[in-house]
Amino acid sequence: QVRLVESGGGLVQAGGSLRLSCAASGSISSINAMGWYRQAPGKQRDLVAVITSAGTNYADSVKGRFTISRGNAKNTAAKNTVFLQMNSLKPEDTAVYYCNAHFGTVAAPYDYWGQGTQVTVSS
């Protein structure tokens, strides 16, 4: 089992910044990727950013404003934490943000999700 615990959401004015954190614990040695998704009311859950050993990838809507990173690889606890630094926030960034850990193979993938953290950007 894998547990993902998110923190850092909240209310911020447009143009402001927030930093989300996600700590992974449990059977995490075979994580292929970690990422952040978001879901606004009445909309589907969409990818925001993902990080793998090969690098990072972002949704077009957040490129240049959001940065995904992982903790210090030399620190056992820190390396299993992923961060999302969100700058220049816009009202359209308002959503519940979910941490994701992706495992498995192309033929048999599986995912774990955090409980979600609310981000609200006021205009």
**pLDDT tens-digit series, residues 63-122:** 999 999 998 767 666 678 999 999 999 999 999 999 999 998 888 889 999 999 999 999
What is the structure's pLDDT at 101?
94
> Of 119, 123, 111, which Cα lies nearest the Cα of 40?
119
pLDDT tens column, 24-49: 988 887 888 999 999 999 999 999 99
Classify the C-alpha dihedral 90-94-98-100 as positive or negative: negative
What whole-number distance in Å separates Cα of residue 96 and Cα of residue 107? Answer: 29
What is the structure's pLDDT at 77?
64
What whole-number distance in Å separates Cα of residue 86 and Cα of residue 67? Answer: 7
Running DSSP on this structure, what letter comes out for residue 29?
A: T
